[in-house]
Structure 1
Amino acid sequence: MTLADAGKTNRSESSFQTKKIRFTYSEVQEMTNNFERALGEGGFGVVYHGFVNGTQQVAVKLLSQSSSQGYKHFKAEVELLMRVHHINLVSLVGYCDEGNHLALIYEYMPNGDLKHHLLGKRGGFVLSWESRLKIAVDAAIGLEYLHTGCKPPMVHRDIKTTNILLDEHFQAKLADFGLSRSFSDGSESYVSTVVAGTPGYLDPEYYQTNWLTEKSDIYSFGIVLLEIITNRPIIQQSREISHLVEWISFMITKGDLRNIMDPNLHQNYDNSSVWKAIEIAMSCVSPSSTRRPNMSRVANDLKECLISESSRIGEGRERESKSSMEFSVGIFTDVIPKAR
């Protein structure tokens, strides 16, 4: 059975709530200048740069014919993003659903994904600790909205550094909602479902039980936090302890903050905010979901880390400004002729 045939079994003209943002395939070709500039590629397919109305920049995610995700995930993402709007979620500009041609059209995020920045693939630019904390706070707020602001609540199911995108001001937004699931009513605390997600970020408890809860997202977010802190691979066979969580647990017992932190930061950070962030991350990746905090707690604790780091930077700038002013005054008084 072809992808198109598989999709037709549950497609209808009333599949989606509105047709206002539906584009034809020829319009998609036109907006991408016949798929001229690829931005990246994922499990869904290739993402292309484009323009709507000749001015609004967009990212067009085109479903590949060999995609394992298919129409079901395409439809889930369209329906979610048409009813869910938040400053820390990538917004949907439109979609194309025409025969074999499926495409999702999003707002364009010019600074790409968090993973590329951590790997230094964006011009070698190193994100400061303050910038990383801001990104973590933004992502946490977006996830908190899915868990508590949506009715019914949503679980993202694929939180990872490549699904955290950055706009022109480095504001972070969650993306890729094809695996997202909602709880049908407020009384449910979990959904029994086939395990889906990305290895390394996958909640081990969910993997073992097939019980999906919001705490599964929190485990994944904890792994993301550990990547932000360490800039190290989740699994690295050459490391003395291959899994990142276990390696950090070992380093914590040694009190070895310097080797935990990304060396690219050159120790330019507030130690207390770093230890607090590590504590938050390790609580998120607790093997037992009942011991993990909720997303509101995580977001608030990360805001405290950011305040601590920002005040350190503010004090440093104040000292520099004061020193500079004293230096200028000194020069100024030296060159003024003395009164006779």
Structure 2
Amino acid sequence: MTENKRFSYSEVIAMTNNFQRILGKGGFGIFKAEVELLLRVHHKNLVNLVGYCDEGENMALIYEYMSNGDLKEHMSGTRNRFILNWGTRLKIVSESAQGLEYLHNGCKPPMVHRDVKTTNILLSEHFEAKLADFGLSRSFPIEGETHVSTVVAGTPGYLDPEYYRTNWLTEKSDVYSFGIVLLEIITNQPVIDQSREKPHIAEWVGLMLTKGDIISIMDPTLNGDYDSGSVWKVVELAMSCLNPSSARRPTMSQVVIGLNECLAAENSRGGASRDMDSKSSIEVSLTFGTEVSPRAR
């Protein structure tokens, strides 16, 4: 099965125009086993693995091209001159959540992504969100197994403190990382910022909420143009994902349902966000799906 997805190193050089634009370099696990696993994973909100290269020192996983880059670029406005409106942010995280939910519940055996972050949420030509970079993914091979004991891997700031402490990896570790992503779309702040009263975004937002200083956590570039009910529901959802106890965090299925409710509230609002001067952002604002169940493409 894997052989017809195998590319030579020279083919990879030709396809990428001599690696003109490398999106990421990273480690991956046992190469062949990983490729077999990833070639079986298909969902509209997961980046499709096209093939792989395995020639001596030259090992690579080759994914479909996502022309609109990653969520982090769009949040910062470095990619386009417009900042994503609240409805578009909600649509992107809702779709990403569906991809993650499919890994947890639609895959047999279930998979844990292990590196959920805004740079791993890629956007297609039509701003459809797809979760990428399964280089650290792990599956649960044994029936009935609820966790895997692994060497801790992931990105600082997004890493589940319980997993860090115990080395016990579960789906709830991804839920924690996804909670950080939700705080990023709300605040548009760096995950770790040493100049803040609390450097880590989760602690900083927690502190602001206890002070009742809710407005200061919202991304000011949104200019108040959002359904406030949907925003606070996402804040609540994010904080529940970040519960120190993994058992008390929601499942990704619950997160998907919560985000779809927020999306419905924002979409029924209308408002100035529909009048953005970018055609693509208007289209994006109007093409929301409300699919909840994981479905293979």
TM category, shorter = 0.7 to 0.9
SS class of match (1:103): strand
Q: Determine which of 1, 9, 20 is the counterpart of 1:25.
A: 9
Instruction: State whether residues 2 and 35 of structure 2, in contact with CA within 8 Å, keep that contact through their aligned partners in structure 1.
Output: no
Query: Aligned AA for 1:149?
Result: G
Give, in whole Å, the separation in 2 of the partners of 1:33 and 1:246: 44
Instruction: State whether residues 76 and 180 of structure 1, in contact with CA within 8 Å, keep that contact through their aligned partners in structure 2.
Output: no
Q: Is residue 56 of structure 2 the alignment partner of residue 136 of structure 1?
A: no
Q: 1:289 to 1:167 in 2, by over 3 A?
A: same
Q: Determine which of 184, 187, 190 is the counterpart of 1:227.
A: 184
Give, in whole Å, the separation in 2 of the partners of 1:29 and 1:248: 45
TM-score normalized by the length of structure 1: 0.77
Query: Aligned AA for 2:54?
Result: D
Q: 1:316 to 1:126 in 2, by over 3 A?
A: closer
TM-score normalized by the length of structure 2: 0.88
Q: Is residue 164 of structure 2 the alignment partner of residue 207 of structure 1?
A: yes
Instruction: State whether residues 204 and 287 of structure 1, in contact with CA within 8 Å, keep that contact through their aligned partners in structure 2.
Output: yes
Query: Aligned AA for 1:259?
Result: S
SS class of match (1:133): helix
TM-superposed deviation, 1:77: 4.2
Q: 1:237 to 1:105 in 2, by over 3 A?
A: same
Give, in whole Å, the separation in 1 of the partners of 2:22 and 2:152: 29
Q: 1:202 to 1:309 in 2, by over 3 A?
A: same
**Cα deviation code 1:1-22 (max 9, x no counterpart):** xxxxxxxxxxxxxxxx421111
**1:1-340 equivalences in 2 (<5 Å):** 17-35=1-19, 37-40=20-23, 42-44=24-26, 69=27, 72=29, 74-75=31-32, 77-313=34-270
TM-superposed deviation, 1:123: 2.4
Q: Which moved more, 1:210-219 or 1:18-27?
A: 18-27
TM-superposed deviation, 1:125: 2.2
Instruction: State whether residues 76 and 177 of structure 1, in contact with CA within 8 Å, keep that contact through their aligned partners in structure 2.
Output: no
Give, in whole Å, the separation in 2 of the partners of 1:110 and 1:244: 29
Instruction: List structure 1 segments (4+ residues) > 4 angstroms apart after TM superposition.
Output: 314-317
Q: 1:77 to 1:113 in 2, by over 3 A?
A: farther
Structure 1: 5+ residue stretches without partners: 1-16, 45-68, 318-340
Give, in whole Å, the separation in 2 of the partners of 1:234 and 1:300: 25
User: Aligned residue pairs: how many?
Assistant: 275
Instruction: State whether residues 76 and 178 of structure 1, in contact with CA within 8 Å, keep that contact through their aligned partners in structure 2.
Output: no
SS class of match (2:53): strand
Q: Larger % of strand: which?
A: 1
Instruction: State whether residues 2 and 36 of structure 2, in contact with CA within 8 Å, keep that contact through their aligned partners in structure 1.
Output: no
Aligned-CA RMSD value: 1.9
**Cα deviation code 1:32-86 (max 9, x no counterpart):** 2333x2143x342xxxxxxxxxxxxxxxxxxxxxxxx26x354454223211100
Query: Aligned AA for 2:9?
Result: Y
TM-superposed deviation, 1:103: 2.2
SS class of match (1:97): strand
Instruction: State whether residues 115 and 155 of structure 2, in contact with CA within 8 Å, keep that contact through their aligned partners in structure 1.
Output: yes
Give, in whole Å, the separation in 1 of the partners of 2:273 and 2:219: 21
TM-superposed deviation, 1:253: 2.5
Instruction: State whether residues 68 and 122 of structure 2, in contact with CA within 8 Å, keep that contact through their aligned partners in structure 1.
Output: yes
Instruction: State whether residues 73 and 178 of structure 1, in contact with CA within 8 Å, keep that contact through their aligned partners in structure 2.
Output: no
Instruction: State whether residues 68 and 124 of structure 2, in contact with CA within 8 Å, keep that contact through their aligned partners in structure 1.
Output: yes
SS class of match (1:38): coil
Instruction: State whether residues 73 and 179 of structure 1, in contact with CA within 8 Å, keep that contact through their aligned partners in structure 2.
Output: no
Give, in whole Å, the separation in 2 of the partners of 1:230 and 1:253: 16
Instruction: State whether residues 139 and 164 of structure 1, in contact with CA within 8 Å, keep that contact through their aligned partners in structure 2.
Output: yes
Structure 2: 5+ residue stretches without partners: 275-297
